[in-house]
Amino acid sequence: MSIKPTIVFDLDGTLADTMLDLVPVLNRTIAIQGLKPVTAEQVGHVSGKGIKPMIKLAYTLNKKSISAQMVDELFDIYLKDYTNNIAVNTRFFEGVENCLKIFTDDNWILAVCTNKPVKLADKLLRELGAHQMFSAVPGFDSFDYCKPDARHLIKTIELAGGSASNAIMVGDSQNDILTAQNASIPVVAVDFGYSEHPVATYNPDQIISNFDQLYETAVEMMENI
């Protein structure tokens, strides 16, 4: 019996436009220390690396230094706020829900590999009504390693019941593309996410501009694995 094909998605900037809530929470958090607000354009490109890098960048943009202890303290404040406001404005990008259904109907295994804390990733997908579609949703704190470490992606595929030799990654940033490349897994980049530079800069295997393109792209890529 052949192993089902697996498609693994990044979450922030790939499946969902989370900046709509991430940035307001970030600005409320840094305001406690008297910092000026930042914009999605300024910090979005590090969102795929996690919350702490966003906090550090906000300080850099304000030309302020921050200690590791303060990062941890603000991280805890951020988590409490974001947990309560995780899907106030966040929505799936256009076409995502239909795309996920197409893959599910075609018997693909679906998973999410994110550098969001796992409890927040679970909560967001539940609030968006799609958690049941994914066989695994590990976050940055699920293992002793996280993206761009190849093991984060490979372990995600294993937890979902798939095989790394029969899988594809979908992401929006250098971090996602590098993760897949480190794992020797084909990667599709979306060009509408939070990448600092055009995703073509990072040499993904394919680039799509909307989710209507993903199924046919993935099937063709799988045939060439």
Q: Are residues 112 and 197 in the same domain?
A: yes
Share of residues in the chain with pLDDT > 70 (%): 99
pLDDT tens digits, 22-54:
999 999 999 999 999 999 999 988 887 888 999
Sign of CA dihedral 172, 179, 83, 69: negative
Please state the pTM of the whole predicted model. 0.92
pLDDT tens digits, 186-199:
999 999 999 989 99
- Residue 10: active-site member: yes
Q: Are residues 119 and 218 in the same domain?
A: yes
187 domain-assigned: yes
Contact 3, 166 (CB under 8 A): yes
The domain in which residue 69 lies consists of: 19-84
Write down the catalytic residue from 10, 17, 21, 176.
10
Mean of the per-residue pLDDT values of the chain: 96
Preceding peptide of 148 cis, ω within 30°: yes
Contact 150, 182 (CB under 8 A): yes
Confidence check: pLDDT of 1 > 60:
no
The pLDDT of 5-11, averaged and rounded, is 98
- pLDDT at residue 180, rounded to an integer: 98
Q: Are residues 51 and 112 in the same domain?
A: no
- pLDDT at residue 39, rounded to an integer: 96
